[in-house]
Amino acid sequence: MKKHTALAPHSKEAEMMVLGCMLSSMDALNLCVEQLKKEDFFELRHQVIFSVLRFCYEKDRPADIHIVSEELKRTQQTEDAGGVDYLTSLVQFAGSSPFVEEYVRFVKNASTLRQIIEGAQRIEREAWSQPDDVADMLDRAQQTFFSIGRSVSSHLGLLVKERLQTFPKEHFLKELEHRQELFRKHGAKAFSKRGIPTGFSDLDRLIEGCVPSNLMILAARPAMGKTAFALNIAEHICLQHQKPVGIFSLEMTADQIVDRLVVELAEVPSEKIATGDINGEEYQRVVRACGRLEQNTMVIDDQPNLRINDLRTRARRMKEVYDVQFILIDYLQLISGSAGSRSVEFRQNEISEISRMLKILARELDVPILALSQLSRKVEERAGHRPLLSDLRESGSIEQDADVVMLLLRRDYYDPNDRPGMAELFVAKNRHGKTGEVDLVFQKEFAKFASYLRQEDNDDPYP
């Protein structure tokens, strides 16, 4: 634990306000745990108290004065935290202040200044020692301030549109009237979906759309198009149904995701956009695609190497700030467990923890979560390459925790003459409904999937 001089930048009052708010408000606890870490607090007793509050948060336990004081007693840290009376004084000091974000900013700014001072002093001492490898020292100096800069941002994610526009939720009676009208026009075919339509009518008939609180898994071997298919669903939910969507992209950057969305919406090949080799009509399609994205709420968090606890915190903030109604995670095997271990012997337990936490998160936020997953190499060795539930990599707990498991296959990836331009989506598990197979068309140049049209789909009331 680092020690600072008495003159180091800090605000005792701001630290007290933050801790007092955390002890009395679950919303404040969620906010502060996301944006602060123990070292951001100057006073050692405040570091101890914050560590216990974070422990309670990570264990999904409430964190009021009594629970925190009991945890301090259990860990024999009550004296280090200033005693139970000090906890009470923190709550009384903070009261019911609605300005906790401002106090978080004060604490974070002071912490950043201390880090800058410490980093500069360390670099100065090393420079005075006149090292032989000056280039190496310069690299370390740059890394020091780069790390400080990265720790400053609370990182809510990239909002695709420039300005948040609210969209009112439909009231129950209005939704009922809408369903009545559909039934009068289409009869029994206009069955009631419990979830948000995916944009793929055959799939919706099986799984009833993306149902709130469901954990859905989309699994495939690399290059099958699972990211493209998932983005097609996210785009449909966001643009066609005006539902705010959150995307966690651990593999691709936010810019790459936006580029894919524009290509899919404009139906202009990415190669042409990258080189600028587009005609006037294609340019207008790109402009219209960008305009549609700007008019709706889609948030992309492209932070790599996320731990499951950090992902949960950020998802809660997305829900709180943007009211996201659908969350996409690309992809599950890139998430770390709470312990952060990547060793083989612990990885199965980590995946079990991650899938369980994602299911809990879906229920907590009451939103559908679509998580992408890799399949094992057994698919490559199998005749026909048809994927099975047993091919889910690293843990059978994914299958157990998921409400819906979908497996994607493009046969023409293995044999260009085997159903070229087609894809098959197998609904291998559906906790609340039927399983089955869905035929899709894949337009590779646009990274776009579409329903395989049949005559009976022409008047589908759920496009």
Determine the 3-state secondary structure of 144 from DSSP: helix
Indicate the pLDDT class of residue 247, thresholds 50, 70 and 90.
very high
**Total-model pTM:** 0.64
Which domains, and CATH codes, for the chain?
Answer: 12-152 (1.10.860.10), 172-457 (3.40.50.300)
Q: CB within 8 A of 329, min separation 6: which ones?
A: 248, 250, 311, 335, 358, 369, 370, 371, 372
Average pLDDT over residues 46-65: 87
Q: How far apart are CA 176 and CA 327, in angstroms?
A: 26
Residues 427-458 have pLDDT tens digits of 989 988 889 999 999 888 888 898 887 534 44
The strands making up 448-451's β-sheet, listed across from edge to edge, are 158-159, 298-301, 245-249, 326-330, 369-374, 215-220, 404-409, 422-430, 436-443, 448-451
What is the residue-averaged pLDDT of the chain?
Answer: 81
What tens digit of pLDDT does each residue of 335-382 get?
887 655 555 556 777 888 888 889 988 988 889 999 999 888 888 778
* Beta-carbon count within 10 A of 165 CB: 11
Helix (H, G, I), strand (E, B) or coil at 391: helix
pLDDT band of residue 33 (cuts 50, 70, 90) is confident
For residue 337, give the H/E element and its range: none
